[in-house]
Chains A and B, each alone.
Chain A
Amino acid sequence: MLALIQALADGVMIGGVYAVISIGLTLVFGVMGIVNFAQAEFLMLGMFAAWFLWAYVGLDPLLAAPIAFVLVGGLGMLTQELLLRRVMHAPPVAQIFLTVGLLIVLENGALLVFGSDYRSVSTPYQAQALKLGPIFVSVPYLLAFVASAISGLALWFFLRASPYGRAMRATAQDPMAARLSGIDADAMRRLAFGLGVGLTAFGGAVILPYLTVSPTVGGQFVVLMFTVVVIGGLGSIAGAVVGGLFVGIVQSLSGLVFPIQLQNLVLFCVFIAVLALRPEGLLGARR
């Protein structure tokens, strides 16, 4: 029982982080209709941004996260303008493989610029945990969870209350109608892509205190992020939150029942089952 509560607590915290890094992916899909295979590379860039800010400015990664968001978000808008905009009307295969090319360029570019070292930060709270009775709550996990929740709420507020956010949601729901009502679809896509990869970079920065960054770190997250957004429903932001928590909890709980080696197997089977039975995801609306 105790082990179950502990696993649930761990799962919720880690799941909150998965949610934020995956919201970006689902946002990009929702507005642009593109599955971005390079999304996890922006997570890597966010981690590097936070690492350099920690190493040279002495900024805690949690505080560096908004800066990582801005930097990588800007890079994302540039990427959209220079690359993705040109394949918006190309076949889906070309779109997917453009992002695969981007993945290769970003990973190897990072290796060129940053080298192959594994970099990690040291912060005072890194090796601390709160003890609630017999349950451990890891401080870096908790902080990452809180930061994720705040950024998630901020995004929600932006999409609901700001004119840009409303325009973006309109574009996601019906691009044609949005254009007819005077929304600049290109600008919306630029904004969505910037926001999407920026959020993922933000997530990268907040997990840096308990993880390590190297040019290949994106590979650890790419399939995981797909799983989250598919389970939640491609394009659904609330779905990504549910999907993230779901994946975090499944990962954590499956360790109690199955060998930990099979952690991902359990996840992928759920993934396929969800696609087969409810392709619109747990929360997605039927299109």
Chain B
Amino acid sequence: MTRPTKLAAAALALLAALCLPLGLDHQGYAIRVATLVFLFGAMAQSWNVVGGLANQMSLGHAAFFGIGAYTSTLLLIHAGLSPWLGMLAGGVLGGLAAALISLPTMRLSGHYFALATLAFGEVMRVVANSWAGLTGGPVGLSVPFAPDSLALFNFKSTVPHYYIALAALCLVTAIFVWIRNSALGYRLRAVRENVDAAEVVGVDTARTKLVAAVISGVLMAMTGTLYAQLNFFFDPDTVFGAAPISIRVALIAIVGGVGTAIGPIVGALVIIPLEEAANLFLSSQVAGLSGFAYGLILIAVILVQPHGLAAIGRRFQRKSKGAS
């Protein structure tokens, strides 16, 4: 696709997304799933900054996500601070945490980086469970029930959440594209292709990786606030969990296509509805059937398309170019 057609397609998709709630029950199931698609798309896109551009496969992004959820919610409960401001505070802390974990893991790559970040996520989960004085412990936190208010980010209807999640997805995607095309993006690509060569041509590889990690951490933490306000309740095992957050987010990006702007969006559009469909059609049958089917489909997708679903589009393009 040429650049103008790409932009036109994106604009059309955005327009469709903007109009979608008109046809849906405002507190319904469909709009909730659509909201989760955008939210998880935004999370996967945040992950993509580190996982895709720097090719550092993090399995600990739940650490930042949880920090965001807890920061804004605790500030709301104890100081009455609007979650919008709490989201900024959470972003700052998420960025700090990302810098903190970057220092010891900077030199690692591949599997080692994945395992180190996995352990970091688990550390945060244990801390949140144990430090009950701050977090409320394993019992979890409820966002206080309040009347609808934009200033306090509290809505009974799902529609505002839908648009906020959509905006978040667009924003994070724009940041991703901007980074990719910026000097930082070129440096990241240099680091990804060959660290030593990048050093030789004068790229400060440590700094480059650190900046990418911090941006990714900030964005991920901010999505944590969106999640808390949408779901109204969370506990450490949910927001700091490896399976429900870290691995799922990476999975979405990978199924869609790592390192591409469209990948996390495609991944979220596939994975979240797939999970729901498996639950909807199979979970009332025999226990375990829905998970079994979901896992099989996942394996099939990875076997057929190890570079992600976005690669299908690229192959198609190449073919059509070859034909013309």
Chains A and B touch (C-beta atoms under 8 A apart): yes
B111 within 8 A of A: yes
In A216-230, the 8 Å CB interface with B consists of 223, 226-227, 230
Partner of B115, one of A35, A87, A93, A215: A35
Interchain CB contact under 8 A, A275 and B126: no
Interchain CB contact under 8 A, B302 and A272: no
In A79-120, the 8 Å CB interface with B consists of 83, 86-87, 90-94, 96-98, 100-105, 107-112, 115-116
How far apart are the CA atoms of A94 and B114 in the complex, in Å?
Answer: 13
How far apart are the CA atoms of A40 and B136 in the complex, in Å?
Answer: 31
Interchain CB contact under 8 A, B111 and A97: no
Interchain CB contact under 8 A, B115 and A230: yes
Interchain CB contact under 8 A, A90 and B130: no
In A104-143, the 8 Å CB interface with B consists of 104-105, 107-112, 115-116
How far apart are the CA atoms of A265 and B119 in the complex, in Å?
Answer: 9
Interchain CB contact under 8 A, B298 and A101: yes
B186 within 8 A of A: no
Hey, what's the 0/1 contact readout for A232-262 against B, CB within 8 Å counting as 1?
0010000000000000000000000001011
Partner of B126, one of A94, A102, A109, A262: A262
Interchain CB contact under 8 A, A275 and B108: yes
Partner of B288, one of A91, A112, A227: A112
B57 partner residues in chain A, CB cutoff 8 A: 92-93, 96
A276 within 8 A of B: yes
A271 within 8 A of B: yes
How far apart are the CA atoms of A111 and B287 in the complex, in Å?
Answer: 7
A223 partner residues in chain B, CB cutoff 8 A: 118-119, 122, 242
B292 within 8 A of A: yes
Nearest-CB residue, chain B, relative to A96? B114
Most chain A CB neighbours (cut-off 10 Å) among B103, B114, B303, B307:
B303
A96 partner residues in chain B, CB cutoff 8 A: 57, 111, 114
Partner of A269, one of B123, B130, B242, B289: B123
B119 partner residues in chain A, CB cutoff 8 A: 223, 226-227, 268, 271-272, 275
B166 within 8 A of A: no
- Minimum CB–CB distance from A119 to chain B (whole Å) comes to 16
Nearest-CB residue, chain B, relative to A230? B115
A175 within 8 A of B: no
Interchain CB contact under 8 A, B292 and A97: no
Hey, what's the 0/1 contact readout for B120-139 against A, CB within 8 Å counting as 1?
10110011011000000000
Interchain CB contact under 8 A, B105 and A275: yes
How far apart are the CA atoms of A271 and B291 in the complex, in Å?
Answer: 31
Hey, what's the 0/1 contact readout for A265-282 against B, CB within 8 Å counting as 1?
100110111011001000
Of the 9-residue stretches B7-15, B176-184, B213-221, B250-258, which lies at the interface with chain A? B250-258
Residue total for A at the interface (Cβ-Cβ under 8 A): 46
- Minimum CB–CB distance from A271 to chain B (whole Å) comes to 5
Partner of A94, one of B105, B118, B254, B292: B254
How far apart are the CA atoms of A230 and B103 in the complex, in Å?
Answer: 18
Partner of B307, one of A94, A104, A110: A94
B258 partner residues in chain A, CB cutoff 8 A: 91, 93
A6 within 8 A of B: no
Hey, what's the 0/1 contact readout for B57-68 against A, CB within 8 Å counting as 1?
100000000000
Known: A86-B303, A279-B112. A97 touches B295 (CB 8 A): no
B116 within 8 A of A: yes
B322 within 8 A of A: no
Interchain CB contact under 8 A, B291 and A276: no
Nearest-CB residue, chain B, relative to A227? B119
A111 partner residues in chain B, CB cutoff 8 A: 287-288, 291-292
Hey, what's the 0/1 contact readout for B129-158 against A, CB within 8 Å counting as 1?
110000000000000000000000000000
B197 within 8 A of A: no
Interchain CB contact under 8 A, A97 and B286: no
A-B contact pairs, 5 of them (CB 8 A): A97-B255, A108-B295, A111-B287, A116-B287, A223-B122
Known: A108-B288, A265-B123, A268-B123. 13 other contacts (CB 8 A): A87-B303, A87-B306, A90-B306, A91-B306, A93-B51, A97-B255, A104-B294, A111-B292, A116-B287, A223-B122, A261-B130, A268-B119, A272-B105
Where the two chains meet, the residues of A that have a C-beta atom closer than 8 Å to any C-beta of B are 29, 35, 83, 86-87, 90-94, 96-98, 100-105, 107-112, 115-116, 215, 223, 226-227, 230, 234, 259, 261-262, 264-265, 268-269, 271-273, 275-276, 279
Where the two chains meet, the residues of B that have a C-beta atom closer than 8 Å to any C-beta of A are 51, 57, 103-105, 107-108, 110-112, 114-116, 118-120, 122-123, 126-127, 129-130, 242, 247, 250-251, 254-255, 258, 286-292, 294-296, 298-299, 302-303, 306-307
Ordered nearest first, which 9 A-B pairs have the shortest CB separation?
A111-B288, A276-B104, A104-B295, A108-B291, A105-B295, A90-B306, A94-B306, A101-B298, A101-B299
